[in-house]
Amino acid sequence: MVKVLLTGGSGFIAAHIVDILLQHGFDTVVTVRSEEKGKRIIEAHPDVSKEKLSYVIVEDVAKDGAFDEAVKSNPPFDFVLHTASPFHFNVQDPVKDFLDPAIKGTTGILKAIKAYAPTVKRVVITSSFAAIVNGKQHPKVYSEKEWNPLTWEEAMDHSSVYRGSKTFAEKAAWTFIEKEKPNFDLATINPPLVFGPIVHYLNSLEAINTSNQRIRNIVQGEMKEKLAPTGNFLWVDVRDVALAHVRAIEVPEAGGERFFVTAGFFSNKELVDIARETHPQLESKLPSADTPSDFPEHIYEIDNTKSQKVLGLKYRPLKQTVSDAIDSILAVGV
């Protein structure tokens, strides 16, 4: 059987990746930060044997040698999906708290695989549109060819440190492949805001992923008086992002490629309109139907054809994604 290591197994995207890996017949080992999270994942898949799904604990992905033991396996791993990212509530020092852990977390697992897992053929890393976007000067069309031009100095600004961490971590991964010439190749998945159903056994409404927070806020009535600015107008469904990771190990041509995984444009006004249509019981918590949209008159274009042609993605429509996300949020309890 083909065996996969999935890091960050309790994350929003990773929880959906687990389901797809199991559906596609992969033996799956997830890394988690605690025994409790590992047990929750196993308990949520009661029909799956321990040969098909198990976990290992990696408490701090940014520590030197964090993944050395996790990548050793018998039978050995064929692929690694790296979705784990350092987890910090309190960023006081952008380098120490954010940039170093992001870069070390990424290069650390690549070093461990090269040293201890010679059977691994491909590593797929969850990057981000943050590593593509140019906040100062949008190109006419965004595709995988674009890189965020942010400098290390600019990333010291707290408002830019997240984009910097994603950009430098992904660049470090490609540099590692180029210089170290390991036994595996690399693919990266670069999504923008990721919406969609939360996984009830791992997520509370407080610990919800950042992108879905705006849908939760709409459901909870926090935008009734004033619609928050949309900010980033690109989105994708979590299930499509999860499938992209799995397809990136199944499709030989995916090696050596970045994939800009996005379904297209949205605005917060659209999210509210969908909530009103699909969940009329929320009407009293929503801003009025004539609230204006902040979607810009002129905006860049996007080119996501590589993800469709190479990975075979067919993107879900926004209405389905938002409706499913609201269902899952209501199921957890508002």
- Residue 76 Cα distances to 28, 57, 81, 96, angstroms: 11, 17, 15, 34
Asked if residues 33 and 87 have their Cβ atoms less than 8 Å apart, the reply is yes
Asked if residues 113 and 81 have their Cβ atoms less than 8 Å apart, the reply is no
Q: What's the topology of domain 3-198+234-264+300-315? A: Rossmann fold (3.40.50)
User: Looking at the whole model, is its pTM more than 0.75?
Assistant: yes
Asked if residues 125 and 173 have their Cβ atoms less than 8 Å apart, the reply is yes
Q: Taken in order 6, 182, 118, 172, is the CA torsion positive or negative?
A: negative
With a cut of 70, say whether residue 282 has pLDDT above it.
yes
Q: Taken in order 9, 71, 28, 180, is the CA torsion positive or negative?
A: positive
All structural domains of the chain with their residue ranges: 3-198+234-264+300-315
Consecutive H or E run containing 105 = helix 100-116
Model confidence pLDDT, tens digit, residues 32-77: 999 999 999 999 999 999 999 999 999 988 889 999 999 999 999 9
SS3 116: helix
Asked if residues 210 and 282 have their Cβ atoms less than 8 Å apart, the reply is no
Model confidence pLDDT, tens digit, residues 242-270: 999 999 999 999 999 999 999 999 999 99
With a cut of 90, say whether residue 224 has pLDDT above it.
yes
> Which positions ≥6 away from 221 have C-beta within 8 Å?
284, 285, 286
